[in-house]
Structure 1
Amino acid sequence: MSTSAGRRQGEAGPEPISPVIWRFMVAWFGRFLRRHMNALRLPRWGTPPDASHAGPLVIYSNHPSWWDACVIILLGGLLFPGRENRAPFDARMLERYGIFRRLGAFPVDLDSPRGAAQFLAAVRAILTRPAQVIWITAQGRFVDVRARPLDLRPGVARLAEIAPDALFVPLALEYAFWDERGAEVFAAFGAAIPASELLALPRPERLAHLEAALTATLDRLAADVVSREPERFRDLVSGAKGIGGLYDGWRRLAALVSGRSFDPAHRADPRRLVK
């Protein structure tokens, strides 16, 4: 599909999601994360918003890594299975990764002045439907998790006018190495902000309010990550522990010979020690 065709499609509304492809890719990304990462962890305070909310959800996040798309698909599939999950996607990258169209992605031209109008037109078509979730990496580019200010793109603050019954939910994403070979993936949802609360503010203050909420969520998550205390989190997805290969094979054999149980983890998780 040409870029111009992608733009026309984005303006007319996103492609239908394929339930079969969606379920397959949620499962595939789950296996992919378990293979390459140690765990996807949510802090116990950072739970997703109330699933009973009748209106749409606008979940906006920072954008620290290539892994964000994988994590967002997993969060959508595991935490919001009864809703339709959508996300804007760089139009040029969507040409390369066309499968994401059938997963709810819609093209936005980030390098053109038309991009903002294209984004708002597509979102208007989405948020007027029932049971929608739109995921927005609101920085619009890869940015280190420690960068401040966050410099969110202004389009996210306009969405309250399109969907006055929506909840706006900050989502903090972070990646860190702890004790295992694979990295830890962290995702934390902040307190939901009703669109009515944003609409009560002057337009220039809405973006600052959203950015402050996401910054606070990121800072609180960072404190838990720095603690390196797994009991502060619950694991949404757990990967394989240990190094694997010949080294873990030798350790397993040694444990068998000595009559001990074999735990491939580098360091025992204290949650496993609780009876």
Structure 2
Amino acid sequence: MIKAKKMPLFENAFELYLNPLIRRSFANVFGRDIVQPPSQPVLFIANHSSWWDGLLFFFLNRSVWRHDVHMMMDEKGLKRYGFFRYLGAFSINRSKPKDILASLQYAEQLLLSGKTVILFPQGEEFHQEIRPLGFSTGIAYLMEHCPDVPAIPVSFYYSFRHERKPEVWVQQGKPFYYAEIAGEARKEKTASIEQAITEQLDQLKSQVVSENTAAFRKFTGRRK
């Protein structure tokens, strides 16, 4: 596996590049309940439908959360975009069971050392309307081995509305712990997590469809 190689100077420089890029690419970035977690570390869990997801995590972390974040990323993608290593990305190769375990153990050590980890349990990018989301059991494994670390669900939804450019809507959910997850076996707990994330994503979609902008904070875009 490919380990992260964070470089604070690179993070600072990348922020100067990323913020204007996001403002040029999206008409608006809306966020709901985007607040700094009360503790560190945390495990962020999110649906994965766009290449932008990881960059938006970085943007929100630099804007609000300000954690020492690391992100699990598909090995092919990390090899293609190697600079993500300097932002805290590390790889997983889902075609090799030993590599999967190595990546999960690396994530576990990051959490136990006080680092925050971002995980996309779908493993790959899928259209945001795909159901079921199809989570892998790695999320349950990681929470089982780090039961004192809270997991925080984050949902992304991309949409076109009244602007030439797309909008992205982000919802941050309430933290939960391993002991609160329904089920006994790892598959059962994974299913429970997936159901909760699906419900949050569908609720976010309903807010987007109803254009309930009043419930969201604008991170970019024109302010009225």
TM-score by length of 1: 0.76
Aligned to 2:50: 65
The equivalent of 1:95 in structure 2 is 79
CA displacement 1:162-199 (0-9 Å, x = unmatched) = 21211111111110011111111111112211123239
Letter in 2 for 1:86: H
1:204 aligns with 2:187: yes
| Residue 76 (structure 1) aligns with | 61
Instruction: Confirm or deny: 8 A CA contact 2:26 2:167 kept in the other structure.
Output: yes
Q: Is this contact kept in 1: 2:137–2:187, CA < 8 A?
A: no
Q: Is the 8 A contact 2:74 2:124 kept in 1?
A: no
Q: How do residues 13-162 of structure 1 correspond to structure 2 at under 5 angstroms?
A: 14-43=3-32, 46-48=33-35, 51-54=37-40, 56-81=41-66, 83-130=67-114, 132-162=115-145
Larger radius of gyration: 1
RMSD of the alignment, in Å? 1.9
Secondary structure of residue in 2 paired with 1:169: strand
Runs of at least 5 residues in structure 2 that lack an aligned partner in the other structure? none
Take 1:185 and 1:29, find their aligned partners in 2: how far apart are those partners? Answer: 15
- Does the CA-based 8 Å contact 1:173-1:187 persist in structure 2? yes
Stretches of 4+ aligned residues off by more than 3 angstroms: 198-202
Alignment check: 8 A CA contact 2:44 2:118 kept: yes
Matched-pair contact (CA < 8 Å) for 2:4–2:70: no
CA distance in 2, matches of 1:162, 1:74: 28
Alpha-carbon distance between aligned partners in 2 of 1:217 and 1:80, rounded to the nearest angstrom? 20
Given candidates 172, 178, 191, the residue that maps to 2:155 is 172
CA distances 1:68-112 after superposition (whole Å, capped 9, x unpaired): 12111112221221x211011111221221111110001111222
8 Å CA contact 2:48, 2:126 repeated in 1:
yes
Matched residue type, 1:154 = T
Structure 1: distance between partners of 2:182 and 2:131: 25
- Matched residue count: 224
Normalised TM-score (structure 2): 0.92
Contact 1:40–1:235 (8 Å) recurs in 2:
yes
